[in-house]
């Protein structure tokens, strides 16, 4: 079966990944009694919510300009929640278990950076399913947002090391 996604579908998946990321970081904040790290994870959750809104706005812009609004997915059921659960902050494998055995701030920030890098890999892979160059550019914009996430996390890590 040949499955392709348009930019709107990729943005739906991206939005779900960001919601999953926010949930991940909120759970992580609960694991640490140290207010510094707990607050950092809560801040990360807020960043994820802001990114979700950015992706939602990008999607609306595509819809408003009538670009690729019809689905190209051959399967009848397209579920962005399911697609997002397969990658990065996915709820299928619940990555919070990895954090539960960690008690160091620096290690926790490194895990967060790893998850953000995985999201870039996920979006790069999704880009291969988007045949239209304009839509690929939109996915590139998502990747740029995630790179910015890594820069912010890396700065926080540098301050802690």
Tens place of pLDDT per residue across the chain (161 aa): 566 667 777 778 888 888 888 988 898 888 777 787 788 789 889 988 988 988 888 778 777 665 444 444 344 355 555 555 555 555 444 555 565 555 577 887 888 898 889 888 888 887 776 777 877 888 888 888 889 889 988 988 898 77
Query: Under DSSP, is residue 1 helix (H, G, I), strand (E, B) or coil?
Result: coil
Q: Which residue has the tokens 């300009």?
A: 65
Cβ-count burial 123-149 (b if 16+ within 10 Å, e if not): beebbebbeeeebbebbeebbebbeeb
Q: What angle do CA 141, 142, 143 make, to 5 degrees?
A: 90
According to the model, what pLDDT value does residue 156 have?
Answer: 81
According to the model, what pLDDT value does residue 139 have?
Answer: 81
CA 67, chain centre distance (Å): 23
Q: In the chain, where are the structural domains located?
A: 7-160
CA distance 113 to 152: 9
Q: What CATH number is given for 7-160 in this structure?
A: 1.20.1260.10
According to the model, what pLDDT value does residue 118 have?
Answer: 87
């Amino acid at each position: 079966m040949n499955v392709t996604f348009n930019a709107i579908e990729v943005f739906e998946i991206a939005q779900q990944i960001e919601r999953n990321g926010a949930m991940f970081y909120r759970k992580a904040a609960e694991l640490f009694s140290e207010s510094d790290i707990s607050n950092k994870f809560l801040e990360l959750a807020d960043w994820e919510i802001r990114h979700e809104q950015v992706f939602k706005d990008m999607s609306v812009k595509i819809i408003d300009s009538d670009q690729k609004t019809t689905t190209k997915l051959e399967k009848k059921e397209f579920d962005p929640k399911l697609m997002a659960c397969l990658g990065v902050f996915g709820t299928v494998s619940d990555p919070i278990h990895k954090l539960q055995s960690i008690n160091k701030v620096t290690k926790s920030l490194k895990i967060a950076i790893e998850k953000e890098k995985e999201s870039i890999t996920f979006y790069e892979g999704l880009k291969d399913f988007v045949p239209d160059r304009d839509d690929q550019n939109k996915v590139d914009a998502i990747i740029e947002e995630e790179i910015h996430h890594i820069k912010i996390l890396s700065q926080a890590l540098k301050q802690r090391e």
